[in-house]
Structure 1
Amino acid sequence: MALYAAAAAVLAGVESRQGSIKGLVYASSFQNVKQLYALVCETQRYSAVLDSVISSAGLLRAEKKLRPHLAKVLVYELLLGRGFRGGGGRWKPLLNRHQARLKAELARLKVHRGVSRNEDLLEVGCGLAQASQVPRFVRVNTLKTCSDDAIDYFKETRFYQGRASSLEDLRALKGKCFLLDPLLPELLVFPAQTDLHEHPLYQAGHLILQDKASCLPAMLLAPPPGSHVIDACAAPGNKTSHLAALLKNQGKIFAFDLDAKRLASMATLLARAGVSCCQLAEEDFLAVSPSDQRYRQVQYILLDPSCSGSGMLTRQLEEPGTGLPSKERLRALAGFQQRALCHALTFPSLQRLVYSTCSLCQEENEDVVQEALQQSSGTFRLAPVLPSWPHRGLNTFPGAEHCLRASPETTLTGGFFIAVLERVEVPSSVSQAEVSAPELRSSPSPAPKKKRRRRNAAAAPSMLPCT
């Protein structure tokens, strides 16, 4: 019951331009922000459909104490959502009295528009219609379980499993069926409307709800266990938890973010995911000194800076009525992104960096990468990755085809951009042995090894895990 009231309040705030969905959700007192965010986004996505059904059924005329925004949330839950399986309180019997009429009006609307599926009621060609075609990607958190166990669990709960071989397989997903992603072995793919926020595996941290495109940065950075990694703009933390899983919690992740509230939510997420190799810092990455001895072994950096979000599937919900960002905002964002990328490339032991955004704008993507490469004076180059990936970088400079792009139309994911930069040669200040195995620098004799372990053990309490 509290969930529906909170969702109605957020909807009212969005429609009165008090803020974005995400901002209003985080400002609310409702504890499960992800559940609330998902419900509001889905309700807003079908807003016009729900208005039509509610009006045709005469719901607000019959129930004069029912407020419009709450009615919209409740009707979404009844017709398009969970069907009050999670409760409903005193609103469930009220809606049940009108259930037959509401369902009849929804069916009549489908007949009138000549469609058979709920998502087909969304406007063709709009961003929200594209979002409805993107499946639900679920990453198995290998810090807590393995893919086989997660798959077996879903099979035991009457889910049918297969393996995707094409985008058409993903588009055809429906019902209680899921597929194994052909690229990422730990990624499961469910139909678009699958809601797993209350699933026991998700609540226990065994599953991470993360779009496929968002999984690519950590996968392409590919730090081996024992590595030292910087996650430069880390919140909300899904990519950080993915890095920790790749490291098997062996090594160190230095995660920076300036937003204290997002950092606190991130700490909760990482604790639930079983991450113990990460040190969080409420700090501007641009203020982090590359010469600091704490980061002398950092060979991998993931940089996913603040961006316009123009590739986000829910952006039209977040900022209703807005189009592409203004040129002024793009210039400001690109300036920050360029400074952050150039700064990251100055870390002395850096060997590999992934730069990513959830933006579709060339100014934040290819232009930033091109400028950083020019400033690096040939020290770094774009690494050719995933040659079979269908959507490449814009042809704005030689080598830009090594960058990756993603979109609902071409990859059935959110809009995304990724560039992998690798060092052309080992810096003279760092020995080849140190670069190859920073965690194994020791003399062949047994005694120094033991001594080094004792020193590490004594220093360990200063590295606080994100719990």
Structure 2
Amino acid sequence: MTPAARLQAILDLMSEIDTVPRPADAIVSAWFRARRQIGDADRGEIIAQLQELLRHQARLGWWLDRHGRKDTHRNRLLAFLALVERRKPDQLKRLFSGAKYAPSILTEAEATLVVKLQGLPVDHPAMPEELRLECPDWAAAALRRRFGTDFETEMAAMLTPPPLDLRVNTLKTTREHSLRALRDIGLPAEVSAVAPFGIRVSARLSLAHLPGLKTGEIEIQDEGSQLVALLVDARPGDRVVDFCAGAGGKTLAIAAQMQNKGRIIACDVNEGRLKRCAERARRAGLQNAETRLLSSETDRWVKRHKAGFDRVLVDAPCSGTGTWRRNPDARWRSPQEQGLDNLAALQGRILASAARLVKPGGRLVYATCSLLSEENEDRVAAFLAAHPEFSVVPLAEVAPQLTGSAHPDYLSLTPARHDTDGFFAAVLQRAAVAEAPSEDAA
């Protein structure tokens, strides 16, 4: 593809992202599946440029408003090319040429806009801090309460591209073997800072050519997500439920911990995600994993299997604030539609229902990819108040190797402090049933 054709592709994707009520990564994946003729190099360039544009969305809108222009897809792209990529007016005229596969010729107003934006800083001193940090109104107050004086540092970290984290499937290979395979093709791969089976690749690459991905030897999984799965502490032979499994990233990690022994059930209300989970499990060589489609968090299956599991993971649906650097479009999406209060209520219902599955002495792990206390510590506190049979297992007890958490008892990860996605996890244990006294003791 020519550079101009890539820009037209970005314009097409911007239109879909702004009009289709789905996450940008899902839209982009579907768009490329329908255009398999686009090569890996072009695909990578388009995705990288689009992601960077999405990370500047609020600031670009501010500049357009300052110059009295509508925030259209073309204007936003032109502002990005001029302010962020520092493209000159003559360069943009050549790219927006109207030729085959290229964007249409610049209008007089667009050409004037490009000239006016030349040499200006993308971050202007007159910008409000929250806008400069791309923090949406719906989350600003909660994030300020969460981070206090670290608000700017944490939000700035959200504007950086994330690394590529991999998890090695120990049922099929070793981390040492995977490291060698990655380095053999020239990738800068290193062991993860904390995750015992993690690898971090500090380079942009086509995932289609990633050694071990198609064979199930490795999985793409943020280090923070790997650590949440580690906290479940599932042992070989255990009975485990991943209650909100989605496409099964944590399910696969937990099943591998169990060494293909015991039983793990991936539950979800989305059939498509569970099919993807089952496909990944087969590719990974898992024999102890199965899926279960639920009608809701109170599905009859939960009641029938009451107190039947050693470990239950609730990776609850949430605002996704912890994933903003990986999914920059997410900050402008979902909680605006249903409200944080309604989302927190749903989290509470899911947690209470899933808790029924935990056997006496078993553990319940509540996790989110949110940075908001309203979805994390507050939900755990409300649950414990209503369920005195559960108590907190401190992080130092369940995983002493996980130091540096932003909370003394819970796993609390942030991009600025840990260079992972934002994650929260609390380990809760159900009290064991007291044994009845024997006749002799009586």
What corresponds to 2:311 in structure 1? 300
CA drift of 1:265 comes to: 2.0
- Alpha carbons 1:232, 1:301 under 8 Å: kept: yes
CA drift of 1:182 comes to: 3.9
CA drift of 1:412 comes to: 0.5
What corresponds to 2:240 in structure 1? 229
SS in 1 for 2:264: strand
- Alpha carbons 1:134, 1:192 under 8 Å: kept: no
The residue type equivalent to 1:147 in the other structure is R
- Alpha carbons 1:22, 1:37 under 8 Å: kept: no
2 CA distance for matches of 1:195 and 1:253? 32
Structure 2 counterparts to residues 95-114 of structure 1, below 5 A: none
Structure 2 counterparts to residues 145-224 of structure 1, below 5 A: 145-158=173-186, 176-191=187-202, 193-224=204-235
SS in 2 for 1:151: helix
The residue type equivalent to 1:391 in the other structure is S
The residue type equivalent to 2:16 in the other structure is G
* TM-superposition CA deviations, 1:110-149 (whole Å, max 9, x none): x9979xxxxxxxx985558635354221111112211121
* TM-superposition CA deviations, 1:311-331 (whole Å, max 9, x none): 113476334645x94596111
State which of 340, 344, 349 in structure 2 corresponds to 1:330.
340
CA drift of 1:270 comes to: 1.9
State which of 321, 324, 332 in structure 2 corresponds to 1:313.
324
Structure 2 counterparts to residues 452-463 of structure 1, below 5 A: none
What corresponds to 1:141 in structure 2? 169
Structure 2 counterparts to residues 36-185 of structure 1, below 5 A: 41-47=47-53, 51-52=81-82, 56=89, 57=91, 58-62=93-97, 64-68=99-103, 125-126=133-134, 130-132=158-160, 134-158=162-186, 176-185=187-196
In the alignment, is residue 370 of structure 1 matched against residue 381 of structure 2? yes
What corresponds to 2:422 in structure 1? 415
- Alpha carbons 2:158, 2:325 under 8 Å: kept: no
- Alpha carbons 1:210, 1:238 under 8 Å: kept: yes
- Alpha carbons 1:244, 1:275 under 8 Å: kept: yes
In the alignment, is residue 21 of structure 1 matched against residue 24 of structure 2? yes
CA drift of 1:203 comes to: 1.9
Query: Structure 1 unaligned runs (5+)?
Result: 70-108, 115-122, 159-175, 394-400, 430-467
Change (3 A) 1:19 1:298: closer
What corresponds to 2:282 in structure 1? 271
The residue type equivalent to 1:365 in the other structure is N
- Comparing 140-149 with 42-51, which one deviates more in the overlay? 42-51
What corresponds to 1:349 in structure 2? 359
SS in 1 for 2:318: coil
* TM-superposition CA deviations, 1:26-47 (whole Å, max 9, x none): 65581799x9997765222233
2 CA distance for matches of 1:21 and 1:66? 23
SS in 1 for 2:179: helix
- Alpha carbons 2:365, 2:426 under 8 Å: kept: yes
* TM-superposition CA deviations, 1:377-400 (whole Å, max 9, x none): 24433433355532323xxxxxxx
2 CA distance for matches of 1:310 and 1:37? 26
Change (3 A) 1:63 1:329: same
For normalisation by structure 2, the TM-score amounts to: 0.69
What corresponds to 1:465 in structure 2? none
Aligned alpha-carbon RMSD (Å) = 3.8
2 CA distance for matches of 1:256 and 1:250? 19
| % identical equivalent positions | 26
- Alpha carbons 1:60, 1:66 under 8 Å: kept: no
What corresponds to 2:411 in structure 1? 404
SS in 2 for 1:280: strand
CA drift of 1:344 comes to: 2.3
- Alpha carbons 1:229, 1:301 under 8 Å: kept: yes
* TM-superposition CA deviations, 1:289-336 (whole Å, max 9, x none): 45525x6541101110111111113476334645x9459611111111
2 CA distance for matches of 1:341 and 1:191? 36
Change (3 A) 1:63 1:273: farther
Change (3 A) 1:333 1:304: same
The residue type equivalent to 1:45 in the other structure is Q
SS in 2 for 1:202: coil
SS in 2 for 1:226: coil
* TM-superposition CA deviations, 1:75-131 (whole Å, max 9, x none): xxxxxxxxxxxxxxxxxxxxxxxxxxxxxxxxxx9x9979xxxxxxxx985558635
- Comparing 126-135 with 138-147, which one deviates more in the overlay? 126-135
Query: Structure 2 unaligned runs (5+)?
Result: 54-76, 105-117, 123-130, 135-154, 437-442
- Alpha carbons 1:233, 1:255 under 8 Å: kept: yes
For normalisation by structure 1, the TM-score amounts to: 0.66
Aligned length: 355
SS in 1 for 2:216: coil
- Alpha carbons 2:157, 2:415 under 8 Å: kept: no
SS in 2 for 1:42: helix
- Alpha carbons 1:298, 1:349 under 8 Å: kept: yes
2 CA distance for matches of 1:415 and 1:66? 39
